[in-house]
Amino acid sequence: MSELHTLIDPKKIPLHVAIIMDGNGRWAQKKNLPRIEGHRRGAEIIEPIVEAAANIGIKYLSLFAFSTENWSRPADEVKALWQLLEMFFKMKLALINEKGVKIIFSGTFRRLPPTAKNVIEEAIRQTKNNNRITINFCINYGGRQEIVDAVNLWIQKRKPTEALTERKLSSCLYQPRLPDVDLLIRTSGEYRISNFMLWRLAYAELVFMNVLWPDFREKHLYLALHEYQKRERRFGGL
């Protein structure tokens, strides 16, 4: 375990950490490899980072794996990403399950290849009783789409003349019981949210890191947590 680990105050661990796992393509291009090789290496990092997050006491970890806008990429990259996703769940599910990790999903199954949907549903089913850490896989996820889907769900459930509130809208999001994000980490050196978790990010602390996702290691997680613990969160108060 990295020495940086000792910098972390165990009493101030964020409940919900979200990561925009960005920079796979650039990692590959820098090495003159095809972009998909970057995605493959990026996928390999997920399991050890989940393990480190669980060990340090993070209870919810959201991982942005594919956005609703990523469909605009070349068809062969999109196809390879779905194949990789299926492979990831097929290869890693037993290990993930053994480690007490619960998998949940945020996004929409609309447009997803049926085989990808099947592996995700199987992972959710097999891990539903685990409680060491919850991994919220954000796949075919868009923050605006989530809010639109929540409003449409609300419209179906509402009584005539009943008004929408923040609490009611929260209860219609993809994962109603997921807490707000405390810490958002984005890798790759880009300073933007890219339509991730718009509702739940309202008061998140943002940490942007100049490391490409395939190079992300435990030490980067500890650095981000250390940075988070130095911040003063005010939530609009004093």
> Known catalytic residues?
22, 70
Q: Among Mg ion, ligand IPE, none, what does residue 137 contact (CB within 5–8 Å per kind)?
A: none
Q: Is the dihedral of CA 229, 231, 235, 237 positive or negative?
A: positive
Q: Please choose, out of 1-9, 62-70, 88-96, 152-160, the segment that lies near ligand IPE by the rule CB under 6 A.
A: 62-70
Q: Residue 139 is inside which H or E element, if any? A: strand 133-141
Q: Which one of the spans 20-28, 117-125, 168-176, 226-234 is the region binding Mg ion (CB under 5 A)?
A: 20-28
- Check: CB of residue 35 under 8 Å from CB of residue 29: yes
Residues 6+ apart with CB under 8 A from 238: none
Sole window of 3-11, 49-57, 63-71, 199-207 interacting with ligand IPE (rule: CB under 6 A): 63-71
Q: Cα dist. 181→129, 178, 203, 205 in Å?
A: 23, 9, 8, 8
> Residue 61 interacts with ligand IPE (CB under 6 A)?
no
- Please, are residues 16 and 59 in contact by the beta-carbon 8 Å criterion? yes
Instruction: Establish if 188 lies at the interface with ligand IPE (CB under 6 A).
Output: yes
Q: Which of 22, 182, 205, 218 binds Mg ion (CB under 5 A)?
A: 22
Residue closest to ligand IPE, measured at CB: 25
Q: Site for ligand IPE (CB under 6 A): which residue of 64, 89, 174, 216?
A: 64
Where residue 100 falls (left for φ over 0; alpha for ψ -120 to 50; beta otherwise) is left
Residue pointed to by tokens 């980072």: 49
Residue 24 interaction partner, one of ligand IPE, Mg ion, none, beta carbon < 5-8 Å per kind: ligand IPE
Minimum distance of Mg ion from residue 39's CB (angstroms)? 11
Does residue number 17 form part of the binding site for ligand IPE (CB under 6 A)?
no
Verify binding: residue 145, ligand IPE, rule CB under 6 A.
Answer: no
Strand-pairing partners, residue 19, are: 63, 185
51 binds ligand IPE (CB under 6 A): no
Rounded distance between C-alpha atoms, residue 116 and residue 216, angstroms: 25
Of the candidates 238, 208, 197, the residue with the CA atom closest to the CA atom of residue 67: 197
Smallest distance from ligand IPE to CB 44, Å: 13
Residues within the interface to Mg ion (CB under 5 A): 22
Provide the binding-site residues for ligand IPE, judged by CB under 6 A.
20-26, 64-67, 70, 81, 188, 190, 192, 194
